[in-house]
Structures are given as C-alpha cells and as structure tokens.
C-alpha cells in the first residue's frame, strides 16, 4: 500500500488512539486505515472521520480495512513507507530491503475529496479570442506509466495570446506532453516545468521558421503562460509573463506569482543585459510583455531579442486555511484589484460551491461592469469542503436575521445652518399667510478665526473724571 505516513491524518489518528489508553501505557496502538481496490489510501483514523461513502464500501468489502500496529509513531514518520501491510504484520518489523526507501508523498484523502475546479473565458469587446486554458483534474490519465506514490495529480494553465492564436493553441496541444516526457518530472517537478516551457517555446519557434510568410503567419504570435501543478499537498506555480495566481487563505488574498513586465526594474536589467531595450514601457518599443512563448522576429527569424522563455517557479503547501486558488489572464487584473477578485470569488463559492459559476461571475464582472478591453480567462481550484461551506453559510444566515447584532454606523454631523434655513423658510411661508410668526432667526456664522462672537457685558464702571485744579 503506497501511503504517506507523515500526513496530518496519521499523526492525528495516532494521538487519538494513544489518548484512549490507560495512563502510563507504552504498548502498541492500532491505527485504522482504509485502502481502495487499487491499493490507494483513502482514509485514516476512526470511522467518524472518514469521508462520505467510505464506511459503506468497507461494509460491502469493496474497500479494505487494516489496523496498523505501532508503539512509536516517530519511528515510522522518520523511517520508511509501507509497501504492503497486513493485519499480522507490524510497521516496525518491515523487511530489511525496505529500510532506507525514501518517503513518498501523495495527496491526502481530504484534499483529494474536496478539490474541484472550474474555468470560464470570454473575448469581451475584442474581435478575436486569443486566450486559452488547460484544465486536467486527473493528470495520471494522461500518463502512459503513472508514477508510483503520486496519484491524482492535477494540472492547470492560463494562456494569454497576442498577435494571433497560434502560440496559445500550440501550448495547449504540446505543453502537457512535453512536461510528462521530462526525466526530472518525478523527482524535480519545478525543473521539469521550466524545461517543458522552454522546450515548447523552442519547438514553436522552429515551426514558425518553416512557415515564414505562409498563410496565417503564425510567426507573429506569442503567448504568456501561467501553469499550476498540484502534487500531493504541494502546489507548483510556473509563471511566464503577466498572468497572475492568487490564493484565498481564510478570506485573505495571498499572491502566488509576480507579474513580469518590461517596466519592472529587474526585468529591465535582464532585457538590457540580453541586448534588448525598454522604450515607454514596451520591449524594444513593440511588445508589452517581457517573457512569453513565441514572438519570433520576422527579420532575423529568431526569437525577439530580450524576450525570455524562462519561467519563474514557486512552490507552496496547501494547508487547512487555504480555500481556493485563482488563476487569470491580465484582462481581469487590468480592471480589478486582487483583493476584490478574491472577495467576489469567495462570495460566489460560499453561496453555491460551484467553481464554474464563480469563474463566470468574475468574467462577467470584468467585461460588463468594469469594461475591460482584453480577453478574460479565469480558472478556480477550490479546496472548500462541504462542512466548511455549510459553516460559512450558517454564519451568514445568522448575521442576516432581524435583530442580529450589527456594527453601529457612525452618524453624520448635524448641519445647524441648514436646520435654521429650513425653519426660516417655514416661518416665512407662515408670515405670507398672515400669521403672527416671529421674524426668522439668522444663521450663525461658522466657528472660525475672525467669526462673530457675542459681546459680554463689562462688570467694570467708568471712573469719574478727577480734576487737579
């Protein structure tokens, strides 16, 4: 059984099992684990902590229940993984041949069960649609030989094309294949992502050189690229250009990538070092991006000078507070702040839990209300569990009930002059009707330097004049 015994679920189950023992007991405890018909770990711990439908499959013998016996959790966590464990075998009595085998991580059952994704894109007011996307929830289905221990990997990408659709379409057709063919994909996914993007770029440039001047002119096309590889609890973000990835962590927006534009200081220095120039914020006075796939120089037949095809890869760990990851092209970020996008997406997800509808809401907001002038492509990878969504919806319903506590709003200051003017108008209308109304009261001047102040009566009397003869 390929399983990650260093997961949070196993540690929690061990602590709970130890708590139910008598004080001072140091013997072995039993950790229940469940694996499916393929031998994949699907649940750890007591049945009340299993996901929906697992207990029923265990009863019907579709899933296998195993009790792992251990007296020391730390020895297992720091040693090896289990290849095969039966009820009579102990993790501390593994064959010598297994000692030293590196611990293989895989996505925990909780992350796997609650992950859902959605994608939506629209050309907006443009005449052409140059954005593309890749959404693969099960990357193993694309692999000829799946990697042992790395099941249920996912891959997502947003392509923001310019100068035509050729580059973005080429990325969609070839990037995943190039990634899976990289030898470093199993051990060094970050290096594999960089190599796959560079390989995709070089092959596209080679095809453009063969079709220079041909119909469609693909050599004029280029595309920025933002891709995400989800393996286990690790999230690898690969950014090439000005698309952006953000994460909602307990409702707060956290950036997962940094926009790469020619006007940035670091990008300008790199461009000038490579022989290019930055004029009025544009690469060589022409391109508004500093890194992209494609964009061959039609004069030299080579890639545009100063334009890089080397992406920046960052790695993050999906934790309990991470709610969803949002990927989008610059058509969204040109008209919407990161915090507002996360707030709107979170509001939609807590209403219905559907990432597809949340993506559509963001795109419609950017095009119809914010009037973006570019294509918009949005991908949302949601980690919301049903229990989490139910808890948020319950809190929202409680605060919306009549009589529920709400923060007091600060009252605006009273305009005295306005009130006096209204009273004067009312009394003036009454006087015109022949009433015995008093004369209207004049408005008080503002309290400022030199303003009118009432005179105070002096208590001193004037001394009589004295004559000195």
Domain residue spans of the chain: 8-104, 110-260+309-399
Torsion angle defined by CA atoms of residues 325, 384, 3 and 103, in that order, rounded to the nearest 10 degrees: 40
Contact criterion met (CB below 8 Å) for 368 and 386 = no
- The Cα–Cα gap between 34 and 48 comes to 13
pLDDT at 83: 34
Phi, psi for residue 103 in degrees, rounded to 5: -70, 125
- The Cα–Cα gap between 226 and 245 comes to 8
Q: Which of 355, 348, 352 is nearest to 380 (CA)?
A: 355
pTM, to two decimals: 0.63
pLDDT at 105: 37
Q: Which residues contact 394 (CB under 8 A, 6 or more apart)?
A: none
Specify the length of the chain in residues.
469
pLDDT at 81: 37
- The Cα–Cα gap between 248 and 250 comes to 6
Q: Which residues contact 75 (CB under 8 A, 6 or more apart)?
A: 92
Angle between helices 189-210 and 166-181 (to 10 degrees): 140
Q: Which superfamily does CATH assign the domain made up of 110-260+309-399 to?
A: PPM-type phosphatase domain (3.60.40.10)
- The Cα–Cα gap between 236 and 230 comes to 6
- The Cα–Cα gap between 182 and 189 comes to 9
Contact criterion met (CB below 8 Å) for 153 and 140 = yes
Burial of residue 129, with CB atoms counted within 10 A of its CB: 0-12 exposed, 13-18 middle, 19 or more buried: middle
Q: Which of 199, 251, 227 is nearest to 377 (CA)?
A: 227
Q: Report the 3 state secondary structure along the chain.
A: CECCCCCHHHHHHHHHHHHCCCCCCCCCEEEEEEECCCCEEEEECCHHHCCCCHHHHHHCCCCEEEEEEECCHHHHHCCCCCCCCCCCCCHHHCCHHHCCCCCCCCCCHHHHHHCEEEEEEECCCCCCCCEEEEEECCHHHHCCCCCCCCCCCEEEEEEEEECCCHHHHHHHHHHHHHHHHCHHHCCCHHHHHHHHHHHHHHHHHHHHHHCCCCCCCHHHCEEEEEEEEEECCEEEEEEECCCEEEEEECCEEEECCCCCCCCCHHHHHHHHHCCCCEECCEECCCECCCECEECECCCCCCECCCCECCCEEEEEECCCCEEEEEEECHHHHCCCCHHHHHHHHHHHHHHHCCHHHHHHHHHHHHHHHCCCCCCEEEEEEECCCHHHHHHHHHHHHHHHCCCCCCCCCCCCCCCHHHHHHHHHHHHHHHHHCCCCCCCCCCCCCCCCCCCCCCCCCCCCCCCCCCCCC
Mean pLDDT by 10 residues, the chain (469 residues): 47 66 65 80 75 77 80 50 34 37 39 80 89 90 66 88 91 94 89 95 89 62 94 90 92 92 91 90 88 87 90 89 92 93 92 91 92 93 80 69 58 63 77 57 54 55 51
pLDDT at 2: 38
pLDDT at 128: 87
pLDDT at 97: 38
């Amino acid at each position: 059984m390929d399983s990650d015994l260093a997961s949070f679920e196993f540690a929690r189950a061990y602590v709970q099992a130890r708590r139910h023992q008598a004080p001072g007991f140091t013997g072995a405890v039993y950790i229940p684990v469940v694996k499916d018909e393929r031998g994949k770990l699907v649940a750890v711990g007591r049945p009340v902590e299993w996901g929906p439908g697992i207990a029923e499959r265990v009863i019907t013998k579709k899933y296998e229940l195993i009790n792992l016996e251990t007296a020391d959790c730390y020895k297992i966590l720091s040693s090896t993984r289990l290849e095969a464990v039966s009820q009579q075998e102990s993790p501390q009595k593994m064959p010598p041949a297994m000692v030293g085998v590196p611990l293989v991580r895989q996505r925990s059952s909780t992350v796997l069960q609650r992950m859902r994704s959605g994608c939506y894109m629209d050309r907006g007011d443009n005449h052409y649609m140059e954005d593309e996307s890749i959404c693969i929830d099960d990357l193993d289905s694309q692999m000829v030989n799946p990697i042992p221990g790395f099941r249920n990997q996912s891959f997502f990408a947003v392509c923001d094309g310019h100068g035509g659709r050729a580059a973005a379409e080429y990325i969609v057709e070839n990037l995943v294949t190039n990634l899976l063919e990289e030898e470093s994909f199993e051990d060094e996914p970050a290096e594999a992502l960089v190599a796959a993007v560079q390989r995709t770029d070089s092959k596209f440039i080679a095809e453009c050189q063969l079709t220079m001047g041909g119909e469609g002119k693909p050599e004029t096309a280029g595309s920025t690229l933002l891709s995400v590889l989800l393996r286990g609890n690790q999230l690898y973000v690969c950014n090439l250009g000005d698309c952006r990835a953000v994460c909602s962590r307990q409702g707060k927006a956290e950036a997962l990538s940094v926009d790469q534009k020619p006007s940035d200081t670091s990008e300008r220095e790199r461009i000038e070092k490579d022989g290019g120039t930055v004029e009025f914020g544009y690469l060589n006075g022409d391109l508004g991006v500093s890194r992209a796939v494609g964009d061959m120089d039609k004069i030299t037949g080579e890639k545009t000078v100063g334009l890089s095809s080397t992406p920046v890869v960052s790695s993050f760990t999906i934790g309990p507070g991470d709610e969803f990851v949002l990927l989008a092209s610059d058509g969204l970020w040109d008209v919407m702040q990161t915090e507002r996008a996360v707030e709107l997406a979170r509001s939609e997800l807590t209403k219905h839990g559907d990432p597809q509808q949340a993506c559509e809401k963001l795109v419609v907001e950017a095009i119809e209300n914010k009037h973006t002038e570019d294509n918009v492509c949005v991908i949302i990878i949601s980690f919301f569990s049903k229990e989490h969504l139910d808890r948020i919806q319950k809190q929202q319903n409680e605060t919306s009930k009549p009589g529920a506590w709400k923060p007091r709003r600060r009252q605006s200051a009273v305009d005295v002059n306005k009130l006096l003017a209204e009273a004067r108008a009312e009394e003036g209308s009454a006087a015109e009707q022949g009433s015995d109304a008093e004369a209207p009261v004049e408005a008080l001047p503002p309290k400022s330097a030199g303003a009118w102040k009432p005179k105070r009566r002096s208590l001193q009397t004037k001394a009589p004049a004295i004559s000195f003869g």
